[in-house]
Structure 1
C-alpha cells in the first residue's frame, strides 16, 4: 500500500511530499492501526473542499493532502490533530529515513564516475 502525504501552502507556498510504500506484512501491520484510527469519512477528500469546509481560513497555513491506498483526505494545518497528526508525523519520519538510507557515500560516487 502506498501512503502519500503532500503539504502545500505556507508563507513560501512550497510543496513537500512524503511517501511510504508498505509492502511487507510487517509494514502493513505497523501502518494498519495508524490508518484505521483516522476518521477518513469525516473529512473532505480534496484541498478545495477542505478550504471550504473548515471555518476561519488562515492564510499562509499548510494544507495536507493524504492518500493511503484508495482513501483520500485533505486537512488544513489547524485540523491536523490526534490520529491525523500521528499519521503525518509517522509518514514523514519513515519517508525521510528511507531517503537517507539510499544516499550514496563517497565511495559510491567514485564508482559511478568510472575509473579515474
Structure 2
C-alpha cells in the first residue's frame, strides 16, 4: 500500500510529492495503525489561503485535501513521517494557458 503526500501552493507555487510504500517499511504495522486512526471522513476541505500550502493525502481507498492550518494531530504525524522517509519529487507551478 502506498501513502502519497502532495504539497502545492506557497510563494513559488511548486508542487512536491512524497511516496512511501508502507508494506516495505520495517515498521509497517505502526504505519497501518496511524493510517487507520486518521479521521478520513471528518476531513473537510478548507478555503485556500494566499501563499499557503495545500496538502493532498492519498492512501487507497482514501484521499483528502487539507489546508496548511488543518494539518494537525495525526495528519501532521503522517505527513512528517512520510517526508522523513522519502525524497520529494519536484514539479513546477501549473502553467497558465495562453488565450
TM-score category of the 2 structures, normalised to the smaller one: 0.7 to 0.9
> Aligned residue for 2:54?
63
Does 1 or 2 have the higher relative contact order (CA < 8 Å, sep 6+)? 2
Q: Report deviation, 1:36.
A: 1.6
Higher-Rg member (1/2): 1
Indicate the structure with greater helix content: 1
1:8-23 equivalent positions in 2, closer than 5 A: 8-23=8-23
Q: Deviations over 1:34-75 (max 9, x none)?
A: 11221000114xxxxx2xxx25x4211000000012111110
Indicate the structure with greater strand content: 2
Taking structure 1 as the reference length, the TM-score comes to 0.68
When the two chains are superposed, the root-mean-square deviation of aligned CA atoms in Å is 2.0
> Aligned residue for 2:65?
74
Q: Which runs of 5+ in 2 are unaligned?
A: 88-99
> Aligned residue for 1:6?
6
CA distance in 2: counterparts of 1:62 and 1:12, whole angstroms: 10
Any idea what SS the aligned residue of 2:23 has?
Answer: coil
1:30-109 equivalent positions in 2, closer than 5 A: 30-44=30-44, 50=45, 54=46, 57-96=48-87
| Count of residue pairs brought into register by the alignment | 88
Q: Which runs of 5+ in 1 are unaligned?
A: 45-49, 97-116
